Amino acid sequence: MSEYLPFTRPTIDAQTIEDVGDVLRSGWITTGPKVEQFERGLADYLGGQRQVRTFLHATGALEEALVVCGIGPGDEVIVPAMTFAASANVVVRLGAKPVLVDVDLKSRSLLLDQAAAAVTPKTRAIMPVHLNGLAADLDGVYALAKQHRLRVVEDAAQAIGTLYKGRKLGSFGDLVVFSFHANKNLTTIEGGAVSLTSPEEARTLEVLRFHGITKYPDGTMDVTRAASKHNMTDVAACVGLAQLRRLDEFNHKRRQLAYRYFELLGDEKLGVVPARGDEGHSWHMFTLLPHYNKACPDRKTLRERMHKRGIGLGIHYQALNQFTLYKNMGYPEGRFPNAERIGRETVTLPLFPAMALSEVERVCEALGECLTTA
């Protein structure tokens, strides 16, 4: 029987494990020289002209990016209805209101006409989400932001290495937040980073990620605000450095796998495939909206059948208004038809650098069997 194929799996090589051992033996395992090295490496990867600050996790990075923008009680932030819950949760945690808008069915990017209609005098920021590694329409987003004097906080959690019109996400723009969670294209096990232009705002992020503390050369410190604690460890940064060296290789393999899926599923006989994008798409995930039918009536049935065949399917994601928190905020079912359809029907197919192209064929063959045989 074939080995079980999950929808994702991190690629950690022997050299990384050895390097982590060296960090553990060094006696300096929390924030230190490896974090500094990783931040410099990220800045260089993005072009060298950006300020990059790492965080313990992307959720904290996203929340503090909003704090830097001055988001607080009474403010509104435009957020796509199809994204991971953290995108909107951080807005709520700051006492602000996430104003949800629907997304395009295939690209999963927020619909700009709905975003424009959602702007009110209370709107302070817009949060485009580069879902699955496909860049959102940033020309449109930044034009809207400029028109209404909004800050832009890009949720690029799934898009490290993605290009927009030939430029890496995070090499330009307002504030861009990446995730390095275990299932991301680059992992630090848990982790995140903010890329931005302003040195002053970068220094604010440093304060926000470590108790609100400013340290002085004589060893004393001051606390200027009641901040949280989000600092990355040297152990995590060590993993990140090894991953960064291979990121373009990883993303190239992801594109190869995605293109094979398109060759086998592009006729859409089994389901609606995602937007293909261009060579800049980093393909964090490949999602499908299967054509359910009498033989296979729903997602639960499909996932169970695929599991029996040794293949794992993920769900990315439910629409935000399919969660109690946001439903109770006045976003009832039916408000966002595209996001809700994705939330009900989507499955995430296996895609990670260690996969072979033959395994894509195995997945598609199993899909055909599971969707057409009762």
Q: Are residues 254 and 226 in the same domain?
A: no
Active-site positions?
184
Same domain, 189 and 326: no
Give the pLDDT of residue 2: 83
- State yes or no: pLDDT of 252 exceeds 80: yes
> Domain with 144 in it: what CATH number?
3.40.640.10
Residue 1, pLDDT > 70, answer no
- Give the separation between CA 5 and CA 358, rounded to whole angstroms: 12
Q: Could you give the CA distance from residue 78 to residue 91 in angstroms, rounded to a whole number?
A: 10
Of 222, 241, 260, which one is at a domain's C-terminal end?
A: 241
DSSP letters along 323-339, please? Answer: SHHHHTTT--TTS-HHH
Residue 308 within any structural domain of the chain? yes
Q: Do 289 and 310 lie in a common domain?
A: yes
| 4-47 per-position pLDDT tens digit | 999 999 999 999 999 999 999 999 999 999 999 999 999 999 99
The answer to whether 108 and 274 are in contact (CB under 8 A) is yes
Phi, psi (rounded to 5 degrees) for 370: -70, -30
| 125 and 102 in a common domain | yes
pLDDT score, position 374 = 85
Taking residues 120-146, what's their average pLDDT?
98
What gap in Å lies between CA 44 and CA 228, rounded to an integer?
28
Q: Assess if residue 166 is contained within a domain.
A: yes
State whether 236 and 259 are in the same domain: no
> Residue 165, SS3?
coil
pLDDT tens-digit readout, 259-309: 999 999 999 999 999 999 999 999 999 999 999 999 999 999 999 999 999
Q: How many domains does the structure of the chain reveal? A: 2
**313-340 pLDDT, tens digit each:** 999 999 999 999 999 999 999 999 999 9
- At 88 the three-state DSSP class reads helix
Backbone φ and ψ for 213, nearest 5 degrees, come out as: -90, 135
**The pLDDT of residue 264:** 98
Same domain, yes or no: 155 and 36? yes
In a shared domain, residues 232 and 117:
yes
Q: Could you tell me if 109 and 137 are in contact, meaning their C-beta atoms sit under 8 angstroms apart?
A: yes
Q: Are residues 188 and 325 in the same domain?
A: no
Amino acid letter, 148? H
pLDDT recorded at residue 87: 98
Q: By residue range, what is the domain housing residue 258? A: 247-372
Q: In this predicted structure, what is the pLDDT of residue 72? A: 98
Indicate whether 48 pLDDT > 90.
Answer: no
Which domain CATH number covers 346? 3.90.1150.10
